[in-house]
A and B are shown apart, each in its own frame.
Chain A
Amino acid sequence: MNTTTAVQKKRKPESIGSGYLNILAPLIVLVILIAALEFFTRAFGISRFVLPPPTDIIAQTISNFPEIWPHFLFTLKIVAIGFMISVPLGMLIAALFSQYEILVKAISPVIIWLVITPMITLIPLIMLWLGTDPNLRVIVVIIQATPIITLNTLNGFTNIEGEKLELAKSVGASKRQTFIKIIFMNAMPQVFTGIKLGCIFSTIGAISADFVAGTVGLGSRIVQYTKYNSIELSYGCIIIIALIGICLFSIVELIEKRIVLWKN
């Protein structure tokens, strides 16, 4: 027992150290990037219609934040709800289909087709069918994000070494036990890959829905600000959207690190 704890103690500071570095390194890169952009835009007098200096973007976004805030909340709501429905839905569909090999074969091309189709193309139709209530954009998010989660989860379920299944057989594991203790656990890293891609697809889905119609959402703000030459605010909204995506992604990654302890 003593050496085990010693080993764990030794490992901990190491991982904390690299943890700091993981956060610090991208931040430094970010600061350098902003400084460089600031320098180039000002030094070469780049038109603010092309790229306004970062400090202007930040200053204007902050001073106009009360106006942006409700749109931010709306987009956040659409992305979050859509994502939270997509994850269990995508996994559930994969779990159901994976029970029968023939279903996996039958459904895979359809899922790939769904993943590839940009859902923005369907948005006018969806609005035609369902009406123009902005909250319906959740549906766009769901059909954009669910297939990629299903696809990755399904890959994880089918991508398993025969030996692991033989182990299950040799101890007489039931179908349920085999699924929970072996197939699902084996798929976990790929499930998380799917979920992380789901974060990205959710944001894309929400923003593209905003673009097509309506007056709410950060996407619609970008359209408006660009129309009225408030380029700084357009960029501000783009950054906020990116931040939503990054936060969601980071939360999932954090959870993954807590759960998938065995991935080296």
Chain B
Amino acid sequence: MEELGKKTLQEPRIKFDNVSKVFETRSQEIVAVKDYSMEVLTGEFVSIIGPSGCGKSTLIRMLDGIIKPTYGAIYLDGIQVNEEGKMPKETLRKMGFIFQQPNLLPWYTVRENVALPLRIFGLSGQAWEKRVDELLELVGLTKSGQLFPYEISGGMLQRAGVIRAMVHDPEILLMDEPFGALDELTREQLNMELLDIWKETRKTIIFITHNVEEAVLLSSRIYIMGTQPGRLVSTVNIDLPRPRSLKMITQPEFISYKQKLTKLIGDLDLSKIK
């Protein structure tokens, strides 16, 4: 009871309040997101799952100031963000964005790419440089720091993209299918690394994925989105104990969550066909 009381009193870190996004293209208006609401508390790990094109990327791109919402408001620490389409650096510094593609800049070395946010946020000094090296080491890229992106593998690129988003020590991580392009083994390994990072640093994480198993394993709560228009369909709390490990995948609770989600997403596709 007490904990529940605390929770309700706590102000959400991130709040989407009836957010819609309409893209105007040459031929038509695309409603990418319609009336989306969501609240995320400090230190929570939530996932957004849904079919391709349902507006997942659009959602977190609005939060990170890349695009402007058409209707509704997004709040970060109770302050509305992204009103004018340009966000102050102090607000952006709180967030790290991991792109769907690694999105490294070909003209910088791996290390320069990882350090880019520091240069732009104006964070200099030994401590920050040391942090870059530590992060490179964390994901096994120390030896590749001086190489150019075209000289490293796809998985390495993706890992570089992940630590670039963390280099300025943001409290919030926005991850857009960060491991989507990777093979299953690497993906599982990186998921576990991500859980470690989250456990140690207690960052607030919004994680976007297509993968049900991944979502159940990582999240405290999963938002399921439907498509055309992109909208919230249901929310599922995952009350599995922590710390979580890959071993849990075969446990009955885990499997029942997985089935429940798979069914919810499946129903969604069926209703679309109808």
- State the A residues within 8 Å of B (CB): 1-4, 7, 163-164, 166-173, 177, 181-182, 185-186, 188, 260-262, 264
Residues in A neighbouring B105, C-beta threshold 8 A:
164, 167, 181-182, 185-186
Within 8 A of A (CB), among B118-150: 119-121, 142-150
Q: Is there contact, CB below 8 Å, between A169 and B120? A: no
Q: Is there contact, CB below 8 Å, between A172 and B143? A: no
A190 → B minimal CB distance (Å):
13
Residues in B neighbouring A260, C-beta threshold 8 A:
107
A4 and B147 contact, Cβ closer than 8 Å, known pairs A172-B92, A262-B106: yes
Does B179 have its Cβ within 8 Å of any Cβ on chain A? no
Q: Is there contact, CB below 8 Å, between B87 and A167? A: no
Residues in B neighbouring A188, C-beta threshold 8 A:
107
Q: Is there contact, CB below 8 Å, between A4 and B61? A: no
Q: Is there contact, CB below 8 Å, between A172 and B66? A: no
- Please pick, from A7, A166, A173, A185, the residue contacting B107 in the complex, using a CB distance under 8 A: A185
Which of B37-45, B96-104, B212-220 binds A? B96-104
- Please pick, from B92, B95, B103, the residue contacting A164 in the complex, using a CB distance under 8 A: B103
- Please pick, from B88, B108, B148, the residue contacting A172 in the complex, using a CB distance under 8 A: B88
- In the complex, residue of chain A having the shortest beta-carbon distance to the beta carbon of B87: A172
Residues in B neighbouring A1, C-beta threshold 8 A:
142-143
Q: Is there contact, CB below 8 Å, between B92 and A261? A: no
What is the bound-complex CA distance between A2 and B144, given in angstroms?
11
What is the bound-complex CA distance between A176 and B38, given in angstroms?
35
Residues in B neighbouring A181, C-beta threshold 8 A:
105, 116, 119-120
Q: Determine chain A's interface SS by DSSP, over half rule.
A: helix
What is the bound-complex CA distance between A261 and B89, given in angstroms?
31
Given A164-B103, A166-B103, list of 20 further CB < 8 A pairs? A1-B143, A163-B103, A166-B61, A166-B66, A167-B99, A167-B103, A167-B105, A168-B120, A169-B66, A170-B66, A170-B92, A172-B87, A172-B93, A172-B120, A172-B121, A177-B120, A182-B105, A185-B105, A262-B148, A262-B150
What is the bound-complex CA distance between A193 and B117, given in angstroms?
30
Within 8 A of A (CB), among B143-176: 143-150, 168
What is the bound-complex CA distance between A177 and B119, given in angstroms?
10
Residues in B neighbouring A171, C-beta threshold 8 A:
92, 116-117, 120-121, 168
Q: Is there contact, CB below 8 Å, between A170 and B97? A: yes
What is the bound-complex CA distance between A164 and B116, given in angstroms?
12
B274 → A minimal CB distance (Å):
35
Does B229 have its Cβ within 8 Å of any Cβ on chain A? no
Does B64 have its Cβ within 8 Å of any Cβ on chain A? yes
A254 → B minimal CB distance (Å):
19
What is the bound-complex CA distance between A188 and B89, given in angstroms?
28
Within 8 A of A (CB), among B211-258: none
What is the bound-complex CA distance between A120 and B56, given in angstroms?
58
Residues in B neighbouring A168, C-beta threshold 8 A:
120
Does B65 have its Cβ within 8 Å of any Cβ on chain A? yes
Residues in A neighbouring B148, C-beta threshold 8 A:
261-262
- In the complex, residue of chain A having the shortest beta-carbon distance to the beta carbon of B106: A262
